[in-house]
Amino acid sequence: MSTIVDTARDRMRSAKDAARTVGLLSDAAKRDALLAVAEAIGACADRIIAANVDDLDHGRANGLSTALQDRLRLDAARVAALADAVRDIAALPDPVGRVLDERTLPSGVRLQKVSVPFGVVGAIYEARPNVTVDITALALRSGNSVVLRGGSAAQRTNAVLVDAIRTALDSAGIDARAVQSVDDFGRDGARELMHARGLVDVLVPRGSAQLIETVVTESSVPVIETGAGIVHIVLDASAPLEWARDIVVNAKVQRPSVCNAVETVLVHRDAAPRLVGPVVAALQQAGVTVHGDESVASLADDVVPATDDDWAIEHLSLDLSMRVVDDLDGALAHIRRYSTHHTESIITTDDANAERFLAEVDSAVVMANASTRFTDGGEFGFGAEVGISTQKLHARGPMGLAELTSTKWLARGAGQVRA
């Protein structure tokens, strides 16, 4: 079913052609296709792992960091997990065809606003082969074609994965041109993707802050910005010690490398003598290095002096910045300056302060008395996560399948004209 293609644009055109039929598939057809994809990934495990070993060898020879090698690595268990993730996505309800608004005009014309696929979803990401499978499954479940540009470090692995997926689609009677990779065009592939207005409907970058920044700045295709999280927790004057300690430790330690992990804790001056010592001790016991300002350092042992940079970086590690602020206004001003508008939480028993924080903080998710780790599509009950949007257009916060759809107004009349 695949055609001979020559350029990145040709492949995008093929994806767009295929989107016409993929967008009209029934719920059952999409589900069955994804179950076939899951089977195929399982059945190709050996081939996938062999390609992955090649990628890893190549990476090591080219000085790929150990952390990136770990992200890149697929073993039998990880391949099985990839297939399971596709099955989970297959089991989700169809996001297409929901009636979101309905009204009858005075003239009798009946209007419906329905959810429809975007058409073609582009993805630019780094050395994580799981994104190849995830984003493809999410795009297909929502009736979209997908054009993939993964990192060159995972190129061999991705090629085998895409091949397996396309073969499975073909067997399921689905136009396999719906899944395209432009990995083999290198940076040109990424560039073409960023400028494919009219062919690609939305572009989702996933990866480092730098990659996202590049895509947002360069792309003329609409982008959904995801990811970077300089996440704050404020310990208000009334913060109960137990909540403060448990939430800060959970938010930092449970998975320090992800975007919803806390980076900076701001402590109300009145609560500092009561909270800083035990919270820092609990963090240190969990292996965290605390970077603190002078007030923090005066209230706890083994605090590394914080520099101005500490407030502005996403550690993504067992490091945490801590600062004492004069009051809630001081905390809000710090957050306005340094937040990436991902998630912030306040720990307080003062309802007025909680509500003020919820109203005034301009972030995708604003919490009172909960761990920032809850900012997650799975935790929110979406069943899958496309990413966490930190922009305000179209989607904000954890994105599920619904965020991979657009809308269309349908109007049904009987000859009406406008008066």
Q: Can you give the binding site for its own copies, defined by CB under 8 A?
A: 20, 24, 103, 105, 107, 109, 111, 116, 118-119, 197, 201-202, 216-217, 220, 222-224, 240, 242-243, 246-247, 249-251, 254, 345, 354, 358-360, 362-371, 373-375, 379-381, 391-394, 396-397, 406-418
Token pair of 12 as six digits: 């995008």
Give the shortest CB-359-to-its own copies separation in angstroms. Answer: 6
Q: Give the C-alpha separation, 264 to 344, whole Å.
A: 10
Q: In the complex, what is the shortest distance from the CB of residue 56 to its own copies, in angstroms, rounded to a whole number?
A: 31
232, β-bridge pairs = 264, 344
Of the pair 211, 216, the CB lying nearest its own copies is at: 216
Specify the residue, 162 or 354, whose C-beta has the smaller distance to its own copies: 354
Residue 343, both tokens: 């998630």
Query: Between 69 and 391, whose beta carbon lies closer to its own copies?
Result: 391
The nearer residue to its own copies, 188 or 360, going by C-beta atoms, is: 360
The two three-digit tokens of residue 84, written as one number: 């399971």
Nearer Cβ to its own copies, position 75 or 213?
213
Residues 6+ apart with CB under 8 A from 251: 231, 233, 260, 261, 262, 345, 371, 372, 373
How far apart are CB 220 and its own copies at their closest, in Å? Answer: 5
**Angle formed by the axes of helices 155-171 and 129-141, to 10°?**
30
Task: Quote the least distance from Cβ 154 to its own copies, whole Å.
Answer: 28
Minimum CB separation from its own copies for residue 237, in Å?
17
Beta strands 262-268; 231-235: pairing state: parallel
Q: Closest distance between its own copies and the C-beta of residue 357, in Å?
A: 10
Which structure tokens are listed for 198?
Answer: 């009219």
Structure tokens at 243: 């909540």
Minimum distance of its own copies from residue 354's CB (angstroms): 7
Closest distance of CB 392 from its own copies, Å? 4
Nearest residue to 281 (alpha-carbon basis) of 257, 295, 298, 302: 302
Each residue of 245-280: b (16+ CB within 10 Å) or e? bebbbbbbbeebeebbbbbbbbbbeebbebbbeebb
CA atoms within 13 A on the CB side of 197: 6
For the record, the structure tokens of 256 come out as 């320090």
We find the least distance from the C-beta atom of residue 159 to its own copies, in angstroms, to be 30
Nearer residue to its own copies within complex by CB, 161 or 399: 399
How many CB atoms neighbour CB 234 within 10 A? 27
Q: How many CB atoms are located within 10 Å of the residue 406 CB? A: 13
Distance from chain centroid for Cα 130: 13
Residue in 230, 210, 38 with CA at minimum distance from that of residue 125: 210
Of the pair 164, 247, the CB lying nearest its own copies is at 247
